[in-house]
Amino acid sequence: MRIDLTDLRPGDVDWLVERHGTLYARDEGFDARFPALVRQVLEAFVAGHDPAWERAFIARSGERRLGSIFCVQGPEPGVAKLRLFLLEPEMRGQGLGRRLLAANMAFARDAGYRRMVLWTHESHRAAVALYRRTGWRMLHAEPRVSFGVPVVEQHWETDL
C-alpha cells in the first residue's frame, strides 16, 4: 500500500476530532472534553500557524486517512512541540508511526528547532516505546485525572 504524508486538507479537522474522540473514548475512557480540546488545538492551528515553523502531517493511502502528527511552536524559542500523534488501529505496528515521527522531527530540525517536547500518557505503551527507541527522554510523570479518568501524564523531550 502506498502511503503519502500530506498537509491538512478540507475535512481533515473534522476527521481528526472524530477519530481522537472515538478512539480515546474506546481505549482510554476519555469523556467529551477530549475531542473538544482536540478541536480547539486544530482550530488554533488552522487560524494562525506559521508554515515556516509549524506543520501537519496526515498519512493517507489514496483518500483514506491513516494517521497524523503535528509540529507546533513550543513553550520557548528553539523548542518545538509534538502534537496530535494518531494512528488508525489497523496501521499500528507496521512502521507508520516511526515514519510519521521521523518526518515530524526532520521538519522541526530543518526549521531550526534545537529541541522537541511532548505530553502523553503512560498507557500509550507503543508510543512511549517508540519515543524511547528514538532517543527521547522522559522528564517527569505525574498521576492526574484527565478527561474523567485517572492517568499518569508524561512529559518527554529530545534534542534535534
CA dist 154 and 149 (Å) reads 15
Domain encompassing residue 32: 4-114
| Three-state DSSP string of the chain | CCCEEECCCCCHHHHHHHHHHHHHHHHHCCCCHHHHHHHHHHHHHHHHCCCCCCEEEEEEECCEEEEEEEEEECCCCCEEEEEEEEECHHHCCCCHHHHHHHHHHHHHHHHCCCEEEEEEECCCHHHHHHHHHCCCEEEEEEEEEECCEEEEEEEEEEEC
Query: Is the residue at 158 inside a domain?
Result: no
Query: Is the residue at 147 inside a domain?
Result: no
Query: Is the residue at 144 inside a domain?
Result: no
Query: Is the residue at 84 inside a domain?
Result: yes
Q: What is the CATH number of the domain that holds 57?
A: 3.40.630.30
Q: Low-confidence residues of the chain, pLDDT below 50?
A: none
Query: Is the residue at 68 inside a domain?
Result: yes
| Total tally of structural domains belonging to the chain | 1
Give pLDDT, residue 1.
86
Query: Is the residue at 122 inside a domain?
Result: no
Query: Is the residue at 138 inside a domain?
Result: no
Query: Is the residue at 155 inside a domain?
Result: no
Query: Who's near 51: CB < 8 A, 6+ residues apart?
Result: none
